[in-house]
Amino acid sequence: MTSSAWLKWLLLAAGLAVLAVMPWLVGEYPLNLIITMIIYSLFALSYNVLFGQAGLLSFGHAAYFGLGAYTSVLLFKDLGFSLLPGILGAGLAGGLLGVLLGLFVVRLGGTYFALLTLAFNALIYAGAEKWRGLTGGEDGVAAMRPDLHIPFFGDVGMFSTVHWYYFVLIVVLLSTWFCWHFTRTPLGRLNECLRENEDRARFIGYNVYMSKVAVNVISAFFAGLAGGMAGAFQEFVTVTFINLDKATDVLIMTFVGGSGTFWGPILGACFLTYLNQVLSDLTEHWTLIQGIIFVLLVMYAPQGLSGLLISLKDRFWGARAGKLSPAAKGEG
């Protein structure tokens, strides 16, 4: 193994260790913020399966997230589901909607995808708002977070923030591992090939349409899972979980973090959730600042924060190892 590969594993192990002992490091309030970051990391990761890997710009990912949130809360409230089946149900609901919408939205590429995802998100939003008997309309629905039922062991209460933290952490880590592994599967590779050259994939003989639907379903499943946990975390869900703002939030998080790397979206979700918390106490114009950061990155650093970090790393560590890129040499 090369030294940089060792460094990667070391960083990963250190990160996991910090996450594992987090409840001893911080108090109740920061822990809640960290749980929010973890949930939105998964949302952004799921978004990047489309945006970064498939090159599909979606304005409608809140449809899956919101449906997941409604599903978990309603399963807890009306059907008395325990925690894990409720959250998995949220993921499945997201995935099913991913099949249904996917059949429509991936037919025409590029700009049409952006248009259609936005329009279908508006449709799902209208559905949530109008079907008051089920969703409570703008008033929303509330349900207590149920216990986690583990076979042959018993029930683990989720009232404690620490228990809930570990539950969310484990679900998101497993999902992250899956998403990372997905990029190495044949379908994951094909997904990136579709972004780079769709015609070539078609000539080789792949069914481009069905592959895109499949990728949309995977992305929608994890968005639903994240939504399910967000609903369970708030113990309440309303139309703000499914509106256009929610859809654009995840786009901004993913882009700001950097869509070109696997961990960029996680960085973006954590960074913006944290800034949101800190800055919204200081200034009411936080969303404006977020918009300006976004536009500046679009104009000057399209690879986002992770792209900036990588170019910084290359500048300092790359130089020491004598691996100067031609561009960097030109600058020096």
Q: Where do contacts with another protein occur on this chain (CB under 8 A)?
A: 55, 57, 59, 104, 107-108, 110-112, 114-116, 118-120, 122-123, 126-127, 130, 244, 248, 251-252, 255, 285, 287-288, 291-292, 294-295, 298-299, 302
E strand residue ranges, 135-225:
141-142, 148-150, 154-156
CB 287, min distance to another protein, A: 5
DSSP lists the bridge partners of residue 155 as: 149
CB 123, min distance to another protein, A: 4
Specify the residue, 228 or 304, whose C-beta has the smaller distance to another protein.
304
Are 240 and 246 contacting, i.e. CB atoms less than 8 angstroms apart? yes
**176-199 burial, b for 16+ CB within 10 Å, e for fewer?**
beebeebeeeeebebbebbeeebe
CB 125, min distance to another protein, A: 9
CB 51, min distance to another protein, A: 9
Range 261-264, long-range pairs (CB < 8 A, 24+ positions): 261/52, 261/306, 261/307, 261/310, 262/48, 262/179, 262/180, 262/183, 263/306, 264/48, 264/52, 264/304, 264/305, 264/306, 264/307
Three-state DSSP class for 142?
strand
Specify the residue, 116 or 225, whose C-beta has the smaller distance to another protein.
116
Three-state DSSP class for 237?
strand
Specify the residue, 274 or 286, whose C-beta has the smaller distance to another protein.
286
225: left (phi over 0), alpha (psi -120 to 50) or beta: alpha
Q: Which helix (H) or strand (E) holds 236?
A: strand 236-237
CB 232, min distance to another protein, A: 28
DSSP lists the bridge partners of residue 142 as: 236
Specify the residue, 144 or 210, whose C-beta has the smaller distance to another protein.
210
CB 46, min distance to another protein, A: 19
Are 96 and 213 contacting, i.e. CB atoms less than 8 angstroms apart? no
Are 228 and 75 contacting, i.e. CB atoms less than 8 angstroms apart? no
Specify the residue, 47 or 167, whose C-beta has the smaller distance to another protein.
47
Specify the residue, 35 or 256, whose C-beta has the smaller distance to another protein.
256
Comparing CA positions, the residue from 67, 65, 77 lying closest to residue 39 is: 65
Q: Which amino acid is at 319?
A: A
CA-to-CA dists, residue 103 to 57, 153, 216, 291, angstroms: 16, 42, 9, 32
Specify the residue, 145 or 212, whose C-beta has the smaller distance to another protein.
212
CB 292, min distance to another protein, A: 6
CB 10, min distance to another protein, A: 35
Specify the residue, 78 or 245, whose C-beta has the smaller distance to another protein.
245
